[in-house]
Amino acid sequence: MKQMRTVEEHRKLANALIQAVDDYGHEYVYPHVDCVYYNEDGPVCLIGVALDKAGFEREKVLGCVSNSKGDANEEIARVVINALGFNQKFANACSEAQAVQDEKLTWGAALREFRDFIESADVINLVDEKDWERLSKMD
């Protein structure tokens, strides 16, 4: 049975997602057709960058990716985040953010989708209070 992540670990990944968008820019558009979690230079897609920033080992993440049966990148993101022990609703929020990236929209738009899904799924407690305050102010 997989071990479930703590609230603090959820908050750390949510913060890493915010930091990824800050680092690349809210207007950044992922340039690849398919999501590549990592390439020879490091993490590439939004979820890959966030997982890397949160301290997840690449081998573990890539193991989850290769074990996923998803047909689409966002489904793979959901499976990977869930396989790493995160709450299903949180995994769904990450998947929704990934879907926005895959539609060639900005990472800022992806972060807003993550925020909206977290709010609608009523799991705001999985995001640090200061991070939530910041997300709430995004247009």
Residue 106 lies in a domain: yes
Parent domain of 56:
7-136
Q: Please give the average per-residue pLDDT across 100-115, as a whole number.
A: 95
Query: Can you tell me whether residue 44 is helix, strand or coil?
Result: coil
Q: For 86-109, give one letter per residue: b (16+ CB within 10 A) or e.
A: bbeebbbbbbbbbbbbbeeebbbb
Q: What is the pLDDT of residues 59-81, one digit of tens each?
A: 888 888 777 765 566 588 888 89
Residue 111 lies in a domain: yes
- Whether residue 90 contacts residue 113, with contact meaning beta carbons closer than 8 Å, is answered with no
Checking DSSP bridges between strand 42-43 and strand 38-39, what pairing results, if any? antiparallel
Residue 83 lies in a domain: yes
Residue 24 lies in a domain: yes
Q: What is the pLDDT of residues 108-129, one digit of tens each?
A: 999 999 999 999 999 999 999 9
Residue 2 lies in a domain: no
Residue 1 lies in a domain: no
**For the chain, what is the domain count?**
1
